[in-house]
A = this chain, B = another copy of it.
């Protein structure tokens, strides 16, 4: 009996492969024996491009294909680009329908055509089935690890088919009409209970049948698996034809991608981003986000510029400015994060936004008063000025309260107008808290000091 070990080996292999004077070929051969295919994909992604290509080439032709398929789109791109035509052709011959679907973004149409012709008839059908769906739809990622039989099949024959099957966890038979229309499933335990071997599968269908439409979004499909008790769910097209099934592993992969998308989006990056993307390409990918944020920074600077007069007279204001902006930004990001999570779980909507803004405003009022007092007192003693202490206290309170309201409604509005709140929420929010912070703080100072 093997007790499965956690993936700590992965970082050990990364270190060993990149150590000075590493015997990389030997180390990698050992890794290839110990690790699963998906772990090998992760390992290769963690290597700089040159080492990645060298190690990948050391894999057997079959492993090469499946490890490449398991890598992030951007991480496998340099490997494909470095391939000689002959080696690429070998790779295309190794792909199955699912692998070709996954790789098709990285390949030219003409390459996809060639790979398609290497598929056998069944795989060709599966490829056509899947490729009618977009990358955002679950149908594209349907798998084919199940046993299907026509509804007229006799129970005894179905049982024999299951017995011969090499599938690890087959516990049901997918039942089809002629033409591939999905009728439902028959549980293995139902087959075992049958008295008459000749009873057709049509009479043994489970009472409660569920399926997923292939056009469903990936995340919806993963959620439906999480909230169902099934270990896999059949996927059908609009004509109820069986396209494949979704396994828990696929659901886990979808959920991981979705969350990585949200994490990476916060920094304006794509979830497929490669650790070792070619430098110029990487710089270009990040430049846009820096540019957008620069615009908001210039907006904040312009706001400050409106108060040049008071700033030139009271240098303490320039010193304290970042404190006001920062407190608003942090308080706002707390509300924002809570609301973005709620939008993802569909628990936040305009329907409860009133209750939520009341809630967030109350919390903001408490923290605004508390921290406004603290900051006011610190300022009073630091700069020995009651009026600046008073001004900053009020500005902090105002900014935290505005931040709470913005934290609720900015993501709701972005979501309503089909912008991704995870991507743009923080930029918009920070712009608001910067501008509001500077205007209240420096504006009050202009009124009270000048």
Give residues in A with beta carbon < 8 Å to B: 1-4, 6-8, 10-11, 14-19, 36, 38-39, 42-43, 45-48, 159, 162-165, 168-172, 182-184, 187-189, 192-193, 208-213, 216-217, 220, 222-233, 236, 240, 247-249, 251-253, 255-256, 259-260, 262-264, 266-269, 273, 275-276, 279-280, 282-283, 286-287, 289-291, 293-294, 296-298, 300-302, 304-305, 308, 311-312, 315, 317-323, 325-327, 330-331, 333-334, 336-338, 340-342, 345-352, 354-356, 359, 362-363, 366-367, 370-371, 374-375, 378, 434
Chain B residue nearest to A1 (CB atoms) is B209
| CB pair B263 A341 closer than 8 Å | yes
Closest 4 CB pairs between A and B? A15-B351, A248-B248, A6-B220, A259-B259
Contacts A1-B210, A308-B319 aside, 4 further interface pairs with beta carbons under 8 A come to A248-B248, A267-B337, A287-B367, A290-B331
Once bound together, how far apart are the Cα atoms of A263 and B169, in whole Å?
A: 35
| CB pair A367 B188 closer than 8 Å | no
| CB pair B159 A290 closer than 8 Å | no
| CB pair A267 B304 closer than 8 Å | no
Taking CB atoms, residues of chain B closer than 8 Å to A336 are 267
Known: A225-B248, A268-B334. A321 touches B323 (CB 8 A): no
Interchain CB contact (< 8 A) of A327 among B43, B225, B297, B341: B297
Once bound together, how far apart are the Cα atoms of A165 and B192, in whole Å?
A: 11
Nearest CB on B from A423, distance (A): 12
Taking CB atoms, residues of chain B closer than 8 Å to A331 are 286, 290
| CB pair A38 B267 closer than 8 Å | no
Nearest CB on B from A137, distance (A): 12
| CB pair B168 A169 closer than 8 Å | no
Interchain CB contact (< 8 A) of A279 among B247, B275, B342, B359: B359
Taking CB atoms, residues of chain B closer than 8 Å to A212 are 3-4
| CB pair A211 B3 closer than 8 Å | yes
Nearest CB on B from A97, distance (A): 18
Known: A267-B337, A371-B294. A15 touches B349 (CB 8 A): yes
Known: A248-B225, A283-B367. A16 touches B289 (CB 8 A): no
Interchain CB contact (< 8 A) of A318 among B231, B321, B351, B363: B321
Nearest CB on B from A166, distance (A): 9
| CB pair A348 B192 closer than 8 Å | no
Interchain CB contact (< 8 A) of A163 among B192, B279, B315, B321: B192
Interchain CB contact (< 8 A) of A294 among B187, B319, B355, B375: B375
Chain B residue nearest to A308 (CB atoms) is B315
Once bound together, how far apart are the Cα atoms of A287 and B283, in whole Å?
A: 37
| CB pair A323 B338 closer than 8 Å | no
Once bound together, how far apart are the Cα atoms of A170 and B350, in whole Å?
A: 43
| CB pair A279 B3 closer than 8 Å | no
| CB pair B18 A273 closer than 8 Å | no
Interchain CB contact (< 8 A) of A319 among B4, B305, B326: B305
Once bound together, how far apart are the Cα atoms of A39 and B266, in whole Å?
A: 27
| CB pair B367 A286 closer than 8 Å | yes
Taking CB atoms, residues of chain B closer than 8 Å to A225 are 248-249, 252
Interchain CB contact (< 8 A) of A289 among B267, B330, B356, B378: B330
Nearest CB on B from A225, distance (A): 7
| CB pair A249 B229 closer than 8 Å | yes
Once bound together, how far apart are the Cα atoms of A39 and B225, in whole Å?
A: 12
Nearest CB on B from A80, distance (A): 20
Nearest CB on B from A343, distance (A): 9
Greatest chain B CB density within 10 A among A260, A269, A304, A363 is at: A363
Known: A171-B188, A294-B327, A305-B319. A347 touches B46 (CB 8 A): yes
Known: A18-B352, A169-B171. A211 touches B252 (CB 8 A): no
Interchain CB contact (< 8 A) of A3 among B36, B213, B363, B371: B213
Taking CB atoms, residues of chain B closer than 8 Å to A184 are 1
Known: A188-B188, A192-B159, A263-B262. A301 touches B322 (CB 8 A): yes
Known: A1-B184, A263-B262. A293 touches B252 (CB 8 A): no
